[in-house]
Amino acid sequence: MVRHIIWGNRSPSKTENITAFFNHLAGSLLQEEGQELNKWEGYVNWRNKPAMRDQHGGMLAASFVLVVEILENLAFLANASNLVLYLSKFMHYSPSSSANIVTNFMGTAFLLAVLGGFLSDAFFTTYRLYLTSAAIEFMGLLLVCLFSRRYLLLGFYLIFLTNSNNQTGLIDTHSSLPPHGAEQFDDTTPQGRKQRSSFFNYFVFSLSCGALIAVTFVVWIEDNKGWQWGFGVATAAILASIPVFLLGSPIYRTKVPAGSPITTMFKVLIAAVCNNCKSKNPSNEVMGMETSPSSYTTETGEEGNATKVKVPSQTLTEDLEFLNKAVTEKTVRPMLQCTVKQVEEVKVVLKIVPVFMCTIMLNCCLAQLSTFSIQQAATMNTKIGSLKVPPASLPVFPVIFVMLIAPTYNHVVIPFARKVTKTEMGITHLQRIGTGLILSIIAMAVAAVVEMKRKKVAIESGLLNSAEPLPITFLWIALQYLFLGSADLFTLAGMMDFFFTEAPKSMRSLATSLSWASLSMGYYFSSVLISMVNNITSIFRHTPWLSGSNLNHYHLERFYWLMCILSSLNFFHYLFWANRYKYRTESTAD
């Protein structure tokens, strides 16, 4: 009946059938073309199939990462916040020894993030890496929870070697969680780049949310119920993070691993060294382009011989000209043959290294919040009215401050800065990092003044040699926490956004992990600095600045002034590199 109505009283002709066939074919081709355009090139979904623009990615997908990060940081700080006091009070280490043990723990933890970043870029998707590392971390925490009484230090190293998500771990998820969240945004559009910048701000906000629970609820449990309960909370938090992460699986998009970025870096560096060492001759001139076979065409010479001629469609930049020699017609070894794209990518990474190095001193200052600052608070009056606050809960002040300032910065400061500067970013990454460095200088000066006041009270009250709490509120210590907490907000979010944005796509996870490597080296440098100060001051004095079992006998104020001076010198060093740095344009991004 339908056929009769459509065609009337006649049957369709052969021409009409052919036309209908080609129309159907054209429609199918257009549909396939539309599907191809709808695909995220270089990205897959959780089933390893092509990710689609209208189905995967976006702020909703990144939101699951933020919730997971709250649970991850809760678990990490649940174990780390009380450690320095446990070592000094219950295991009878000196304050300086306890500080060094904690900073070494933390340094080892953060440094292993680089390995996780390498694995994310080279072999595994960030999705699979997180799930694998979270499972390993859960098993590690479960073992420590069960056997922490007899093997405390061994247990902590086990946590840090298997803790994948809490800035630590042999398979580190702070090298997979931030890039996994940042990968959900389209960096080819202004809107996508703005959303990605907001994600990093809220990533620090999520860190603070987890920290707030850890330094209040979990610290209270550890102080009143025992350490096993604290481990239990951490274990439960990690276990809960896995299903939360899995809930976002249908809408995640994940970058396809592109091979080892470290191999590419070493190949370019070795090729540049070898080719620069070779005797110069015309056959070794630097090529303009060699990224694909189309860079060459075949021409016929006067004698009829076919020769390959380079057709440069891209030139090497003048920055770090030494590396340009990696691109030549003839190399020492064929395996060292490099393309212009590879050389330019390595240049980008090398140019962000000085910025990375300048953030180490700030993280050395941050290390004091987990060590000497808590020990200072433990010697003071920790009561607020009738409430006695555990010293390990002191970080609650900067945590709350960060939780307030992060949304304000994202929704008030940045929009205002964009209107004033008429730029997409408003405040550049390097300006954010520089602001954090300035705040760290102020924090160390404040810490030195507060310690002088604390020591003065100890002397005037006759409690210099006593273990009794001093008649001075521990809220004075909160001042340095506020400044350092603000510095961490500006610098950490700025670093992650800067490294992720500036790095080539094939190296983004590794580059983002530099944020955690900076923390690691800052903690290590804190341990080295304490040892150096004690060794040097012991030469000129009978007792070093930071030695003994009584913190009141320390010259901690001098140590803080030293860090203030070093931080100031570091800031001028940073200004030198920041002023020379040129942001990578989108046209040269990949």
Contacts of 38 (CB under 8 A, 6+ apart): 52, 53, 54
pLDDT band at 167 (very low <50, low <70, confident <90, very high): very low
Highest-pLDDT range among 184-193, 227-236, 560-569: 560-569
Amino acid at 75: A
> What's the Cα-to-Cα distance from 275 to each of 174, 295, 335, 344, 345, rounded to whole Å?
38, 21, 13, 17, 19
Please tell me which residue, 325 or 420, carries the higher pLDDT value.
Answer: 420
The pLDDT of 114-121, averaged and rounded, is: 60
Which has the higher per-residue pLDDT, 151 or 142? 142
**Max mean pLDDT range (73-77, 332-336, 448-452):** 448-452
In whole angstroms, give the CA distance from residue 336 to residue 323: 13
Cα–Cα distance measured from residue 396 to residue 217, given in angstroms and rounded to the nearest whole number: 11
pLDDT at 30 exceeding the cut of 70: no
Q: How confident is the model at residue 270 (pLDDT cuts 50, 70, 90)?
A: confident
For tokens 């102080």, the residue is 223
Of 60-69, 103-112, 413-422, 532-541, the poorest mean pLDDT is in 103-112
| Span 205-241, pLDDT tens digits | 898 898 888 888 887 887 787 767 777 888 888 889 9
Top-confidence range, 302-311, 319-328, 338-347: 338-347
Cα–Cα distance for residue pair 50/139, rounded to 1 Å: 33
- What is the C-alpha separation between 238 and 75, in angstroms, rounded? 7
**Residue 483 φ/ψ region, left for φ over 0, alpha for ψ in the -120 to 50 degree band, beta for the rest:** alpha
- Poorest-confidence range of 184-198, 214-228, 307-321, 335-349? 307-321
| Average pLDDT of span 73-90 | 68
pLDDT over 90, % of the chain:
12
Helix, strand and coil content of the chain, in percent to the nearest 5, comes to 70, 5, 25
Tokens representing residue 18 in the block: 């052919």
Q: Kindly write down the DSSP assignment for every residue of 216-244, as one continuous string.
A: IIIHHHHHHT-HHHHHHHHHHHHHHHHHH
| Mean pLDDT confidence for 277-294 | 49
Q: In the prediction, which pLDDT does 257 show? A: 75
CB within 8 A of 537, min separation 6: which ones?
544, 545, 555
Confidence of residue 182 (pLDDT cuts 50, 70, 90): confident
Q: What is the 3-state secondary structure (H, E, C) of 43-103?
A: EECCCCCEEECCCCCCHHHHHHHHHHHHHHHHHHHHHHCCHHHHHHHHCCCCHHHHHHHHH
The residues facing 381 across adjacent strands are 473
**Residues paired with residue 298 on neighbouring β-strands, in sequence order:** 308
Is the pLDDT at 313 greater than 60? The verdict is no
Average pLDDT over residues 443-465: 90
Per-residue confidence (pLDDT) for residue 128, from 0 to 100 = 81
Half-sphere exposure of 197 (CA within 13 A, CB side): 22
Sheet holding 39-44, edge to edge: 50-52, 39-44, 254-255
Determine the pLDDT at residue 479: 87
d(CA 38, CA 55): 9
Helix (H) or strand (E) segment spanning residue 42 = strand 39-44
Banded model confidence at residue 305, pLDDT cuts 50, 70, 90: very low
Summarize the confidence of residues 332-356 as an average pLDDT: 82
Q: Which pLDDT band holds residue 6 (cuts at 50, 70, 90)? A: very low
**What is the per-residue pLDDT across 245-258, written as a single tens digit (0 to 9) for each?**
999 989 898 887 76
Residue 8 has pLDDT above 50, yes or no: no
Question: What's residue 79's pLDDT?
Answer: 64
Residue 334, class by beta-carbon neighbours within 10 Å (0-12 exposed, 13-18 middle, 19+ buried)?
Answer: exposed
Nearest-angstrom CA–CA distance, 247 and 197:
24
Is pLDDT of 568 > 60?
Answer: yes
Higher-pLDDT residue of 424, 209:
209
What domains lie within the chain, and their CATH numbers? 38-257 (1.20.1250.20), 352-583 (1.20.1250.20)
According to the model, what pLDDT value does residue 430 have?
Answer: 92
Q: What share of the chain has pLDDT > 70, as a percent?
A: 72
More confident position, 585 or 425: 425
Q: Which residues pair with 254 in a beta bridge?
A: 44
Nearest to 428 by CA among 589, 197, 206: 197
If you average pLDDT over every residue of the chain, what do you get? 76
pLDDT the model gives residue 572: 95
**pLDDT value at residue 169:** 38
In degrees rounded to 5, what are phi and psi of residue 554?
-75, 155
Q: Read off the pLDDT of residues 517-527 as tens digits, 9 standing for 90 and up.
A: 888 788 888 88
Q: Are 316 and 340 in contact (CB under 8 A)?
A: yes
The reported pLDDT for the residue numbered 589 is: 40
* pLDDT given for residue 268 in this prediction: 84
Which among 68-82, 84-98, 102-116 has the top mean pLDDT?
68-82
Q: How confident is the model at residue 444 (pLDDT cuts 50, 70, 90)?
A: very high
Q: Decide if pLDDT at 404 tops 70.
A: yes
Under the banding of pLDDT at 50, 70 and 90, the label for residue 445 is very high
pLDDT of amino acid 462: 86
pLDDT score for 55:
83
Q: Which of these ranges, 281-295, 417-431, 444-458, 570-584, has the smallest mean pLDDT?
A: 281-295
- pLDDT, tens digit, for every residue of 55-65? 888 889 999 99
pTM to 2 decimals? 0.74
The answer to which of 2-11, 85-94, 112-121, 233-242 has the lowest mean pLDDT is 2-11
